[in-house]
Amino acid sequence: MKRQIVFLLLILAWAVPALGATYEGLTPGVSTRAEADKALGAPVQILSGGRTLAYDPAGHDLKALSVRLCEDKQTVAVIKLTFLKPYASAMVREWFSLKEPDKTETDLLGQRIETYTGKGIMLHFTGASPDEPVAGLSHIETPDTAKGHLAATKPAPKHVPAYLGLILPTTATHGLRVINTYADSPAEAAGLKIGDEILMVDGRDVSGGKLNTAGFDEIIASKNAHDPVNLRIRRGEQVFDIDITLAVFDKKAIEKRRKADEEQALVLYRKALDLKDKKEYAKAATLFTQALPLDPTGNNIYTFLALCHHRLGRHAEAEPLLRASLGLADKTYSNYLLGTVFMAQGRYDEAAKVLEHAIELRDPEATKVYDYEELGICYLNLGRHAEARQILQAGYQINSGRHRCTYLLAQSNDKLGRSEDAVTYYQRYLDLNPADDEWKAQARTRLAALKPAPGARQKSGSDKNDLMKGLFKAIDTVNKEMKDFNRD
């Protein structure tokens, strides 16, 4: 009983200021969006093109709490509260001294809505009858507030589109990690870098996929030019806040500048490609680096610049570029290249995951099997020999002329104790590989160890080996004009 009395007193204490159509000091038609954020906390969701803001109701003993903005997206029009549980309609009317409603209607679900214009209140019922419980209420602008607006000499602020110049992922799986910034933008001036992770926006937690790029863009679109935005950033082991003042979004000027920059970037990109194909990776990297700020959404620039760094042994520099590339487009080659970067650093678990994804994305008509080979090497290094054999066998079926894949397949069978298969593929590798390299020497050593003594007979008989050799010769005849694909 005491608990019920205390709760009723709390309701009455809340209801007194509500009689003036206010909530938490906010008055529809008067209070601004900035004041709403200050009173209610940062929005947890932004809907309806930036006009509806949902706030965390937990601290207000409510089930839901939202604010509808006027067309200018700056002034509060409606404050809607949904109770934790419905209340008897007679009780609610008594709390707010409500008599006859000025207007009654039903929503799309057939639930009754009563509007009390003079009180600045709308009641939302759980059903169509006026005797149904009340699920919540909305605070709306009163006639007195509207008159005050008309008499005001200061016009409502005009919405001026804001510009940040920040490039975020277009793919859904990479979170709010910075891809890049546009030249001469507020984001660039603030010092945001490739790979920075956005943890909070204006005090709102957006980490762990709580907000995607579209939601972030909604927040910026709801602001005016010259408004501030606060970002909490994680860069490596550091976490820090950045305050950025938004610029005016001049669409024509920005598009004109970008077009000119992209044309210049294309010239540099073509020259860099030529150098990359000639394996002049240092020179190519210089030109790709010059092209990147001119076309920061150019996916291939990130990928090939990363390739150059990788070939030059600069793996740490290659990784963020490839993550940026994948944020723009989830492509087979970028995943494959990131896998090889991880492998070069001994990060075989991470490498295996991205290489598995690369194989999922690959063109079924493709004949190159580098991704299968690298994944097989990862599995071998991780001791997952059966998986290595399986993936390498799949690669071998696609291109049986790859001596590298053949050697790895022999090795995986050898690790599993499948001596006969290992002998077959080691011999096949020796027949395919024209070079006298370290792998060839190792293959000969393993063959000598695995082959039975003269006169001995393997379990499956020599006739099986003869049959396999005949099959391989037939395959060689069919593929004699197939070019052996060498790695870049």
Residue whose token pair is 């965390």: 56
Largest CA distance in the chain: 111
pLDDT in tens, the chain (488 residues): 444 444 444 444 444 444 446 788 888 888 888 888 888 887 887 777 677 888 888 877 888 888 988 877 778 889 898 988 888 988 888 888 888 999 999 887 888 999 998 888 999 998 999 999 999 998 888 776 655 554 444 555 678 899 999 999 987 666 789 999 999 999 999 999 999 999 999 888 888 878 888 888 888 888 889 999 999 999 989 999 999 999 999 999 999 999 999 999 999 999 999 999 999 999 999 999 999 999 999 999 999 999 999 999 999 999 999 999 999 999 999 999 999 999 999 999 999 999 999 999 999 999 999 999 999 999 999 999 999 999 999 999 999 999 999 999 999 999 999 999 999 999 999 998 888 788 888 989 999 998 765 544 444 444 455 555 555 554 555 444 444 434 44
Q: What is the DSSP letter of 26?
A: B
Please give the single-letter amino acid code of residue 318.
A
Q: What is the DSSP string of 367-399?
A: ---HHHHHHHHHHHHTT-HHHHHHHHHHHHHH-
Residue in 251, 256, 196 with CA at minimum distance from that of residue 225: 251
Please give the single-letter amino acid code of residue 199.
L
Burial (CB < 10 A; 0-12, 13-18, 19+), residue 152, is exposed
* CATH code given to domain 162-248: 2.30.42.10
Q: What is the pLDDT of residue 483?
A: 43
As a whole number of angstroms, the distance between CA 302 and CA 178 comes to: 13
CA triple 136-140-142, angle to 5 deg: 135
As a whole number of angstroms, the distance between CA 332 and CA 225 comes to: 40
Residue ranges, comma separated, of all CATH 2.30.42.10 domains in the chain are: 162-248
Residue in 217, 195, 194 with CA at minimum distance from that of residue 206: 217
Would you report the helix, strand and coil content of the chain in percent, each value rounded to 5? 50, 20, 35
From start to end of 168-268, where are the E strands?
180-181, 197-201, 204-205, 228-235, 238-245, 247-248
Residue ranges, comma separated, of all CATH 1.25.40.10 domains in the chain are: 254-478
Contacts of 238 (CB under 8 A, 6+ apart): none
Q: What is the pLDDT of residue 484?
A: 46
Q: Give the predicted TM-score (pTM) of the model.
A: 0.67
Residue in 72, 369, 344 with CA at minimum distance from that of residue 224: 72
Q: What is the pLDDT of residue 476?
A: 56
Residue in 124, 75, 122, 79 with CA at minimum distance from that of residue 98: 122
As a whole number of angstroms, the distance between CA 177 and CA 70 comes to: 32
As a whole number of angstroms, the distance between CA 324 and CA 194 comes to: 7
Written as six digits, the tokens of 39 are 């009173």
CA triple 137-36-113, angle to 5 deg: 15
Q: What is the pLDDT of residue 211?
A: 83
The domain covering 254-478 belongs, at the CATH homologous superfamily level, to Tetratricopeptide repeat domain (1.25.40.10)
Written as six digits, the tokens of 468 are 């396999």
Contacts of 111 (CB under 8 A, 6+ apart): 124, 125, 126, 127, 128, 132, 135
Contacts of 264 (CB under 8 A, 6+ apart): 294
Chain mean position to CA 167:
12
Backbone phi, psi, residue 330, to 5°:
-85, 90
With contact defined as beta carbons under 8 Å apart, do 223 and 162 qualify?
A: yes
Q: What is the pLDDT of residue 16?
A: 40
